[in-house]
């Protein structure tokens, strides 16, 4: 007959208990995302660590939690990095386009400046008030609109209306005067204006 001594029995129980504790400690946990409220774990959207067996046998079959795909996290991180890089590239492109437009505008203004500086005096004919002997006062003053029209029709130069001013806002007498064209960052150009007796 088989007999056990007390010491061998206690040794066997001790080894068995140690084995259970080691097995319990070595049991792996998995990181999951909760889909519903789970008492003792958390609420929907929480990321928690649970025993692999509990996830496999209870949480996943009951649709209370989802496994977290580590590769999906890497893909998501890569997608976020790609979006950030795309936004940075769009911002750089926008800045480049603004700089290119500004450069193009400066080139256009430089060309306009050269064309304006090469122009001969702008000549206007006006009737003179003959009531007073020797009077130089004219009928119909010369204004900025007249200068703009003259530049466009006779010289093919287009200038914005708010960029032209004439001496004293209106030229009211026969003789020489000036008109100024504002070129923004490039300063301004003065044009000689001659009003002749008609």
**pLDDT tens for each residue of 7-17:** 555 555 555 55
Residue 77 lies inside a defined structural domain of this protein: no
Residue 91 lies inside a defined structural domain of this protein: no
For 140-182, the pLDDT digits (tens) are 889 999 999 999 999 899 998 888 989 878 888 888 999 999 9
Tell whether 132 and 185 lie within a shared domain: yes
Domain extent at residue 120? 113-197
Q: Which of 38-42, 48-52, 79-83, 176-180 has the lowest mean pLDDT?
A: 79-83
User: Positive or negative CA dihedral for 8, 10, 16, 22?
Assistant: negative
- Read off the CATH number of the domain in which 153 is found: 3.10.430.100
Q: What is the distance, to the nearest Å, from the Cα of residue 54 to the centroid of all Cα atoms in its chain?
A: 49
* Three-class DSSP category at 62: coil
Q: 122 is written with which tokens?
A: 């702008």
- Read off the CATH number of the domain in which 36 is found: 3.40.5.10
CA distance 69 to 77: 13
Per the CB < 8 A criterion, the answer to whether 116 and 193 are in contact is: no
Residue 1 binned pLDDT confidence (cut-offs 50, 70, 90): very low
- Cα dihedral 154, 197, 181, 107 in deg (nearest 10): 30
Residue 64 binned pLDDT confidence (cut-offs 50, 70, 90): very high
pLDDT value of residue 12: 56
**Residue 184's closest CA among 123, 102, 126?**
102
State the pTM of this model: 0.51
Domain tally for the chain?
Answer: 2
Tell whether 64 and 118 lie within a shared domain: no
Q: Say whether pLDDT at 21 is over 50.
A: no
Last residue of a domain, one of 40, 70, 100: 70
CA distance 122 to 168: 17
**Percentage of residues in the chain with pLDDT exceeding 70?**
85
């Amino acid at each position: 007959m088989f007999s056990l001594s007390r010491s061998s029995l206690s040794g066997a129980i001790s080894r068995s208990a140690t084995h259970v504790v080691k097995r319990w400690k070595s049991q792996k946990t998995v990181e999951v995302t909760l889909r519903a409220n789970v008492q003792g774990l958390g609420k929907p959207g929480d990321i928690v660590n649970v025993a692999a067996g509990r996830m496999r046998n209870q949480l996943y079959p009951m649709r209370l939690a989802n496994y977290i795909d580590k590769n999906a996290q890497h893909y998501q991180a890569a997608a976020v990095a790609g979006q950030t890089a795309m936004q940075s590239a769009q911002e750089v492109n926008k800045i480049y386009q603004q700089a290119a437009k500004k450069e193009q505008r400066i080139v256009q203004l430089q060309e306009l400046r050269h064309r304006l500086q090469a122009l001969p005096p702008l000549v206007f004919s006006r009737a003179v008030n003959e009531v007073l002997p020797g009077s130089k006062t004219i009928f119909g003053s010369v204004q900025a609109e007249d200068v703009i029209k003259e530049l466009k029709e006779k010289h093919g130069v287009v200038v914005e209306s708010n960029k032209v001013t004439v001496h004293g806002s209106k030229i009211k007498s026969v003789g020489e005067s000036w008109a100024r064209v504002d070129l923004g960052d490039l300063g301004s150009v003065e044009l000689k204006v001659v009003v002749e007796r008609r």
